Chain A
Amino acid sequence: MRAYVARRLLILPALLFGISIISFALLNFAPGDPAEIILRRQNPEEPPLPEAVRALRQQLGLDAPLPLRYGRWLFDVLKGDLGESYRSGTPIMSELVKRFPATMMLATAALALSVVVSIPLGIIAALWRGSLLDSLSRLLALLGAAVPSYVLALLLMLFVAVKLNWLPAIGYGSPKNLILPAIALAAGSSAQVMRLTRASMLEVLQQDYMRTARSKGLNERTVIMVHGLKNGLLPVVTMLGINLGHLLGGTVIVETIFGWPGVGRYAVESILQRDYPVVQGFVLYMAFIFLLANLAVDFAYRWLDPRLHFGRQPA
């Protein structure tokens, strides 16, 4: 296992390096001149003068050849410096670090909500297949998957915050502020997890080892929770890992609607304004998060299924 972990950790920088080259090149070919966009943002009523655009391009180092710009950026990254935002002049690393707790809090709450609601519902739907509960869970899953998060977010704000006045519509800082964004965010992934849990459990319930467990005289609860659930959860864990990666990348729309100061909103504002250093730093951050999430999923597999050995397929 140690060798496997060491190998995975060694591959990580190589993958990050490859991703950074691709993203740097792609960003360079994206339409829109950052210098012109920055100047236009500074004064929306006055179109920027060509000489001002040229001067700013020079000041930002945008007139240098692409490989040179990448080299400079990489050198700084190796020193732990992701550069400074074009639009605010603040260090990107400190902005990401400052915003990470907000995103982490929202992602954890949404994931926890998703697990607490969808896994039990998925199991119930599988155990009582075809029942009213199963139909109800299917309807919930359908709604959760079909209603876009921004529509759900606005509806929650309208009914829970405006009409019932139970919770604040926007803001950040108190547990009350967390509830609506977490629900809006959890709905979509809960629907997926619920259906996947149901399908996976249905498959497991028909396995021979389940029949064997029952024939040994184990009670139904032990059969389901120990033998069934542990095996049925394998694909669910994969999905939760991917979902966690997405959630930690920031949930742009929900963050924007609820005024939640997370990394996603920062990234999207930066993308729209061609704030290249921030976008580049964000891509690196996302790549790192996804690689770690995948690693965590692999470890969870090992716990759920001891037959799995790191680095090779189960027999």
Chain B
Amino acid sequence: MTFFSRTIPVFLAVLALAVTACGGAATAVPASTTAPLAAATLIPADSGKDSSMNIAVVFLDQPPDPLQAGWLALPTGLSETLFRLGTDFSPEPWLATGAQQVDEKTWEITIRPGVKFHNGAGMDAAAVKASLERAITQNKGMETLLDIASIEVMDPLKVRIVTNGASPVLPGLLTANKTAIVDAAAAQAMGDAFPIKPVLTGPYKVETFELDKEMVVTRHDQYWGSLPKLGRIKYLGLADANSRLLALQSGDVDIAVYLSPEGTSTVQNDPNLAVKSAAPNALTFMFVNHERGAMNDERVRQAVVLAVDRQALVGAITQGKGAEAIGPFPPGFLTCDQLRAHRFEPEKARALLSEAGYRDTDGDGIVEKDGQPLVLDLLTYRQRPELPLIAEAAQSMLKDIGIRAKVQLVEQPVPAANQGNWDLFTWYNGTTSTGDPFWALDRMYTTGGSGNRGHFSSSRVDDLAAQVGHAIDPAERERLACKATQAIIDEVAIVPILFPNFNYGVSNDVVGFDEPHPVPMYFIDSNVGKR
């Protein structure tokens, strides 16, 4: 029985793979934990001296310099930022110990004492200034995000940061993985060798890095926090979700990140393994192309959103490990009173289509207007394995209300989205970066926003987003962000689908990884160990 219960799901996954001929590459980054070590699993501080762990991650395709691949350096315990997002997505001090806003453009940040870089050099205010200056001079995105006018060292453990415009949420911005503090002097001295072996402050330091193959990290003995429980961690780059699963089952790795839905069931049924699920963080949704024919009509957009049974998708796609999305932000990110959301109401959707002039005149099940059937181009990509499944399910749901959706799989979503030959596009985006709603509102929903791929344009949302950007009082920011969220829902800027959990397969030997952090950037910390 055990044999079959373990074998059949994997076999079915293999067959499904064969039938769909999917490569299964995924764009996920490794994810997170900050969970304190449970009392029952406490291990002596020095027992991890020689202990090692193997972890299967999706990508090792960029060197772990925070400026190049902050998405790799942060979750693997190599780098740290001045502030980090807490489990409630609000920024909390990390390499900083506090921050005080002096005026609307000025912040004074106190630096944590006793922090050492991987080369043994001390991290002080001057090092923080040099690191942040390196980030903003070498990365245009960081320059724009932080908008820093000057950084001044006030004393060995305090810097004053002045921004060009009002910056009410600077600590949140300083959670961005590219702002991780590096030894800028070492970066200068090491030149091209630095990205492969960056000098950072995290609990682990790079021993070797081989592109697309493996990264070996060892304990940073002078780490400022609790002594890392492991002596050595080897990260293996396995892009294929089935490979990660089988490597976990065979005992070749202790943790496999980003399990597929089938893999999650397999791990759940294995007595030697466990699934650790991080609370939802990023949004799975469909972009709506507001510049294309029928989608210009708000009634058609409403019909589309009313036709999608999101609860069913949460059950079928994430097997219950996720949450239904009614708007852009995950549960717990904003506290909004009574958001009015679209629910699954196919009858109302049909009525809206009829009101918009779409009727099935030839009896083929597809509605027409002026003799033209309502056909939508629905694009999707497979780097997120659940997206093609969502596209197929949405196709079927739309057919029920008389809309024909033509699903097309694209290899590179960004260029395909830029071409604009689509009506709906399944997508996956983090919405909680910086811990403040303005980041997502400004990029995704304002006119001309850099991530507004459907060219949504609403003066109401633009106005509210601008107000959020300028508000200094946190409560006022939240109230305005809630109003903007309601406007986004009302005008169907996008079709929200679900917030999927981030699932890890973990060997029972792993300790200190009981409750993964909802933000996938905080995966490995000094508490993760092995029995």
**How many Å from the CB of B422 to the closest CB on chain A?**
14
Q: Which residues does chain B contribute within 8 Å of A236, judged by CB atoms?
A: none
Q: Does A151 contact B (CB under 8 A)?
A: yes
Determine the residue in chain B with the shortest Cβ distance to A40: B414
Q: Does B27 contact A (CB under 8 A)?
A: yes
Which of B18, B62, B144, B213 is in CB contact (< 8 Å) with A172?
A: B213
Q: Taking A155-B14, A257-B240 as contacts, is the C-beta distance between A165 and B213 under 8 angstroms?
A: no
Q: Which 5 A-B pairs have the closest CB atoms?
A: A45-B430, A47-B451, A261-B213, A169-B250, A52-B140
Q: Taking A44-B71, A87-B61, A154-B242 as contacts, is the C-beta distance between A170 and B3 under 8 angstroms?
A: no
Which of B3, B11, B70, B415 is in CB contact (< 8 Å) with A32?
A: B415
State whether A90 touches B430 (Cβ < 8 A).
Answer: no
State whether B250 touches A162 (Cβ < 8 A).
Answer: yes
Q: Which residues does chain A contribute within 8 Å of B192, judged by CB atoms?
A: 89
Instruction: Give residues 39-64 of B contacting A (CB, 8 Å).
Output: 56, 61-63
Instruction: Give residues 61-89 of B contacting A (CB, 8 Å).
Output: 61-63, 68-71
Complexed CA–CA distance, A50 and B237 (Å): 31
Instruction: Give residues 9-67 of A contacting B (CB, 8 Å).
Output: 31-33, 36-37, 39-52, 55
C-beta contact mask, B77-116 vs A, less than 8 Å → 1, else 0? 0000000000000000000000000000000000000000
Which of A43, A151, A257 is in CB contact (< 8 Å) with B141?
A: A43
Q: Taking A44-B71, A45-B430, A259-B237 as contacts, is the C-beta distance between A33 and B415 under 8 angstroms?
A: yes
State whether A169 touches B246 (Cβ < 8 A).
Answer: yes
- A: residues with CB less than 8 A from B are 31-33, 36-37, 39-52, 55, 85, 87-90, 95, 148, 150-151, 154-155, 157-158, 161-163, 165, 168-172, 253, 256-259, 261, 265-266, 269, 272-274
State whether A151 touches B415 (Cβ < 8 A).
Answer: no
Q: Which residues does chain B contribute within 8 Å of A51, judged by CB atoms?
A: 140
State whether A169 touches B412 (Cβ < 8 A).
Answer: no
State whether B236 touches A42 (Cβ < 8 A).
Answer: no
State whether B212 touches A266 (Cβ < 8 A).
Answer: yes
20 of the cross-chain contacts (CB-CB < 8 Å) are: A31-B415, A39-B141, A42-B62, A44-B27, A49-B141, A87-B61, A157-B250, A158-B7, A162-B10, A162-B249, A169-B252, A170-B238, A171-B236, A258-B243, A259-B243, A261-B210, A261-B214, A266-B212, A269-B212, A269-B239
- B: residues with CB less than 8 A from A are 3, 7, 10-11, 14, 17-18, 23, 25, 27, 29, 56, 61-63, 68-71, 139-141, 144-145, 177-178, 192, 195, 210-214, 236-240, 242-243, 246-247, 249-253, 282, 411-412, 414-416, 429-430, 433, 443, 450-451, 453
Q: Taking A161-B250, A269-B212 as contacts, is the C-beta distance between A49 and B415 under 8 angstroms?
A: no
Q: Taking A41-B62, A163-B7, A171-B252 as contacts, is the C-beta distance between A49 and B243 under 8 angstroms?
A: no
Complexed CA–CA distance, A184 and B186 (Å): 45
Which of A151, A170, A171, A258 is in CB contact (< 8 Å) with B14?
A: A151
State whether A44 touches B246 (Cβ < 8 A).
Answer: no
Q: Taking A31-B412, A55-B140, A158-B10 as contacts, is the C-beta distance between A257 and B243 under 8 angstroms?
A: yes
State whether B450 touches A45 (Cβ < 8 A).
Answer: no
Q: Which residues does chain B contribute within 8 Å of A44, judged by CB atoms?
A: 27, 29, 71, 430
Q: Which residues does chain B contribute within 8 Å of A45, judged by CB atoms?
A: 282, 429-430, 433
**How many Å from the CB of A285 to the closest CB on chain B?**
16
State whether B411 touches A272 (Cβ < 8 A).
Answer: yes
Determine the residue in chain A with the shortest Cβ distance to B68: A42
Which of B11, B17, B411 is in CB contact (< 8 Å) with A150?
A: B17
Q: Which residues does chain B contribute within 8 Å of A256, judged by CB atoms?
A: 23, 238-240, 243
Q: Which residues does chain B contribute within 8 Å of A41, judged by CB atoms?
A: 61-62
Q: Which residues does chain B contribute within 8 Å of A33, judged by CB atoms?
A: 415
Q: Which residues does chain B contribute within 8 Å of A269, judged by CB atoms?
A: 61, 212, 239
State whether A37 touches B62 (Cβ < 8 A).
Answer: no
Complexed CA–CA distance, A198 and B178 (Å): 61
**How many Å from the CB of B260 to the closest CB on chain A?**
13
Complexed CA–CA distance, A259 and B57 (Å): 11
Complexed CA–CA distance, A58 and B214 (Å): 32
Q: Which residues does chain B contribute within 8 Å of A148, judged by CB atoms?
A: 18
Query: Which of A45, A50, A274: most chain B CB closer than 10 A?
Result: A45
Q: Which residues does chain B contribute within 8 Å of A163, judged by CB atoms?
A: 3, 7
Q: Which residues does chain A contribute within 8 Å of B411, judged by CB atoms?
A: 272
Q: Taking A46-B433, A165-B250, A168-B252 as contacts, is the C-beta distance between A154 and B14 under 8 angstroms?
A: yes
Q: Which residues does chain A contribute within 8 Å of B213, judged by CB atoms?
A: 172, 259, 261
Q: Which residues does chain A contribute within 8 Å of B177, judged by CB atoms?
A: 43
State whether A161 touches B246 (Cβ < 8 A).
Answer: yes
Complexed CA–CA distance, A150 and B251 (Å): 21
**How many Å from the CB of B319 to the closest CB on chain A?**
21
Determine the residue in chain A with the shortest Cβ distance to B439: A46
State whether A154 touches B17 (Cβ < 8 A).
Answer: yes
Complexed CA–CA distance, A95 and B415 (Å): 28
Q: Which residues does chain A contribute within 8 Å of B178, judged by CB atoms?
A: 42-43
Q: Which residues does chain B contribute within 8 Å of A89, judged by CB atoms?
A: 63, 68, 192, 195
Complexed CA–CA distance, A205 and B70 (Å): 66
**How many Å from the CB of B9 to the closest CB on chain A?**
11
Complexed CA–CA distance, A162 and B253 (Å): 12
